[in-house]
Amino acid sequence: MKKKVLAVLLGGCMVAGLVAGCGGNSGDDAAKSEGGSEGGGYHFEVVVKSFQSTYWQAALQGIEAAQEELGVTTNATGPNAESDIADQVNMLNNAINQNPDGIALAACDQNSVIESLQSALDKEIPVVCFDTGVPDAPEGSVYATVVTDNEAAGAVAAENMYEVIKDTIANATEPVRIGEVNQDATAANIIGRGMGFINKMKELIEADGKTVAVIGNQLYVDSVENNGDEASADVIIEVAVPAQTTVELSATEAANIMNKDDTIAIFGSNQVTAEGVLTANQNLNVLAATPDEGIVGVGFDAGATLKAAVADGTLIGAVTQAPVDQGRIAIETLYKICEGEEVSDVTTDSYWYDAENMEDENIAPNLYD
Amino acid sequence: MANKTVTKTAGTNKSFIDRMGGQKFIVLLIVIALFIFFCAMSPGFRKYTTVVSILDYSYYITLMAIGVAFPLMTAGVDLSIGTGLVCYSLIGGYLIVHQGWPTGAGMVVSILLGVLFGILNGCLVAIMELPPFLATLCTCMITRGVGSVVVGGFGIPWPTAAAPGGWFRSIFKIQVNGMNIPIGFLWIILIVIIMTFVLNHTKMGRYTLAIGSNKEATRLSGVNVRFYHIMAYVICGFFAGLASISYSAIFATVQPGSGAGFELEAIGGAIIGGVSMTGGVGSITGTLAGVFVICLLKTGLPFIGLTANWQQIITGLVLIVAVLFDILKRKKEGK
Amino acid sequence: MGEVILTMKGIDKSFPGVHALDHVDLEERKGEVHALMGENGAGKSTLMKVLTGIYKKDSGTITYEGKEVEFHNTREAQDAGVVIVHQELNMLGHLTVAQNIFIGREFKKGIRIDDKKMNEEARKLFDRMNIDIDPRETMSNLTVGKQQMCEIAKAISHDAKVIIFDEPSAALTEAEIAELFKIIRDLREQGLGIIYISHRMDEIKVITDRVTVMRDGTYVGTLVTEDSTKDDIINMMVGRVIYEDPKTENMTPKDAPVVLKVEHLNAGKMVQDVSFELHKGEILGFSGLMGAGRTETARALFGADPIDSGDIYINGKKVTIKSPQDAVRNGIGYLSEDRKRFGIVVQKTVAENTTMATLDAYANGPFINKKKEKEVAEKYVESLATKTPSVDQLVVNLSGGNQQKVVIAKWLTRNSDILIFDEPTRGIDVGAKNEIYKLMNQLAAEGKAIIMISSEMTEILRMSDRIIVMCEGKKTGELDISEATQENIMNMATREIN
ipTM of the predicted structure? 0.76
C324–B219 CB contact, under 8 Å: yes
Taking alpha carbons only, the member of B296, B107, B253, B162 closest to residue A279 is: B253
Q: What sign does the dihedral B102-B104-B106-B112 (CA atoms) show? A: negative
Q: Where are the alpha helices (DSSP H) in C107-264?
A: 115-129, 144-157, 174-189, 201-207, 230-238
Fold of domain B23-333: ABC transporter involved in vitamin B12 uptake, BtuC (1.10.3470)
**Mutation site, C21, C301, C338, C345, interface B, largest B CB count within 10 A:** C345
C473-494 per-position pLDDT tens digit: 889 999 999 888 877 887 787 7
> Among residues 102-131 of chain B, which lie with CB inside 8 Å of chain C?
none
Residue A103 buriedness (CB in 10 A; 0-12 / 13-18 / 19+):
buried
Taking alpha carbons only, the member of B18, B76, B17 closest to residue B209 is: B76
Residues of chain A with Cβ-Cβ distance to B251 below 8 Å are 247-248, 275, 279
Segment among B73-77, C169-173, C367-371 with least mean pLDDT: C169-173
Chain C nearest-CA residue for B220:
C324
Q: Do domains C4-238 and C258-493 have the same CATH topology?
A: yes
Query: For chain A (length 369 residues), average pLDDT per consecutive 10?
Result: 51 48 40 41 89 77 89 87 82 90 89 89 91 85 88 92 93 93 80 92 93 90 88 92 82 91 93 91 90 93 89 92 88 91 87 90 79
C414 touches chain B (CB under 8 A): yes
Alpha carbon distance B222, C321 (integer Å): 12
Judging contact as 3 or more Cβ pairs under 8 Å, the answer for C and A is: no
SS3 C388: coil
> Does C245 have pLDDT greater than 70?
no
Cα distances from B58 to residues A72, A248, B158, B304, C180, in angstroms, run 49, 10, 19, 19, 63
A57 touches chain B (CB under 8 A): yes
> Among residues 211-240 of chain C, which lie with CB inside 8 Å of chain B?
216-217
* Residue A158, C-beta contacts closer than 8 angstroms, at least 6 positions apart: A196, A197, A198, A200, A201, A204, A267
Shortest Cα distance, chain A CAs vs residue B49, angstroms: 6
Alpha carbon distance B231, C316 (integer Å): 37
Residues of chain B with Cβ-Cβ distance to A217 below 8 Å are 307
pLDDT at B314: 85
Alpha carbon distance C271, A138 (integer Å): 73
Alpha carbon distance B181, B49 (integer Å): 10
A30 touches chain B (CB under 8 A): no
Say if CB C326 and CB C320 are below 8 A apart. Answer: yes
Taking alpha carbons only, the member of C106, C82, C232, C92 closest to residue C165 is: C82
C325 touches chain B (CB under 8 A): yes
pLDDT at A314: 92
Alpha carbon distance C223, C210 (integer Å): 6
Alpha carbon distance C334, B220 (integer Å): 7
> Does B90 have pLDDT greater than 50?
yes
B253–A255 CB contact, under 8 Å: no
Average confidence score pLDDT of chain C:
85
A-B contacts at Cβ under 8 angstroms: 152
CATH architecture of C4-238: 3-Layer(aba) Sandwich (3.40)
* Residue A357, C-beta contacts closer than 8 angstroms, at least 6 positions apart: A363
Chain A nearest-CA residue for B158:
A305
Q: What is the mean pLDDT of residues B36-64?
A: 91
Say if CB C333 and CB C259 are below 8 A apart. Answer: no
pLDDT at C156: 85
pLDDT at B21: 65
- Beta strand A142-148 with A127-130 is parallel
Q: What is the mean pLDDT of residues B91-117?
A: 95
> Does C496 have pLDDT greater than 70?
no
**Mutation site, A252, A295, A305, interface B, largest B CB count within 10 A:** A252
Identity of the residue numbered C437: Y
> Does C306 have pLDDT greater than 50?
yes
Q: What is the mean pLDDT of residues B198-221?
A: 88
pLDDT at B133: 95
Say if CB C324 and CB C304 are below 8 A apart. Answer: yes
- Beta strand C271-279 with C258-267 is antiparallel
Taking alpha carbons only, the member of C185, C233, C173 closest to residue C205 is: C233
**Mutation site, B14, B73, B220, interface C, largest C CB count within 10 A:** B220
* Residue A230, C-beta contacts closer than 8 angstroms, at least 6 positions apart: A213, A215, A236
* Residue C5, C-beta contacts closer than 8 angstroms, at least 6 positions apart: C28, C29, C30, C64, C65, C161, C162, C193
Work out the angle at residue A68's Cα, subtended by the Cα atoms of residues A65 and A72, and round it to the nearest 5 degrees. 115
Alpha carbon distance A275, A183 (integer Å): 11
Cα A241 to chain centroid, rounded: 15
Alpha carbon distance C410, C355 (integer Å): 6
A49-61 per-position pLDDT tens digit: 887 667 788 888 8
Alpha carbon distance A248, A241 (integer Å): 12
Radius of gyration of chain B (CA): 20
Residue A358 buriedness (CB in 10 A; 0-12 / 13-18 / 19+):
middle
pLDDT at B85: 96
Residues of chain C with Cβ-Cβ distance to B281 below 8 Å are 347
pLDDT at B151: 84
What number of H helices and E strands is found in chain B?
13, 4
B161-181 per-position pLDDT tens digit: 888 888 998 899 888 887 889
- Domains, chain A, in order of start with CATH, read 29-148+322-349 (3.40.50.2300), 150-301 (3.40.50.2300)
Looking at the domain covering C258-493, what would its CATH class be? alpha beta
Segment among B17-21, B287-291, C174-178, C252-256 with least mean pLDDT: B17-21
Alpha carbon distance C199, A210 (integer Å): 92
Say if CB A103 and CB A128 are below 8 A apart. Answer: yes
| Partner residue opposite B217 with nearest CB, options C40, C345, C397 | C345
Segment among A120-134, B185-199, B305-319 with least mean pLDDT: B305-319
pLDDT at C254: 81
pLDDT at A11: 52
C337-371 per-position pLDDT tens digit: 777 777 788 778 889 888 888 887 788 778 888 88
SS3 A144: strand
Residue B266 — pLDDT band, cuts 50, 70, 90? very high
SS3 A204: helix
Neighbours of A327 (CB within 10 A): 31
Taking alpha carbons only, the member of C26, C29, C59 closest to residue C43 is: C26
Residues of chain C with Cβ-Cβ distance to B207 below 8 Å are 359
The b-or-e profile of C243-269 (16+ CB within 10 A means b, else e) is ebebbeebebeeeeeebbbbeebbbee
- Where in chain C are the domains? 4-238, 258-493
Alpha carbon distance A331, A325 (integer Å): 10
The overall pTM is greater than 0.80: no
Q: What is the mean pLDDT of residues B261-272?
A: 91
Cα distances from C26 to residues A158, C51, C63, C219, C429, in angstroms, run 88, 11, 10, 8, 21
Say if CB A303 and CB A369 are below 8 A apart. Answer: yes
Work out the angle at residue C325's Cα, subtended by the Cα atoms of residues C319 and C330, and round it to the nearest 5 degrees. 40
C262-287 per-position pLDDT tens digit: 999 999 888 999 999 999 999 999 98
Cα B308 to chain centroid, rounded: 21
Q: Where are the alpha helices (DSSP H) in B123-183?
A: 132-151
Alpha carbon distance B225, B211 (integer Å): 7
Alpha carbon distance A132, A138 (integer Å): 16
Work out the angle at residue C107's Cα, subtended by the Cα atoms of residues C104 and C108, and round it to the nearest 5 degrees. 110
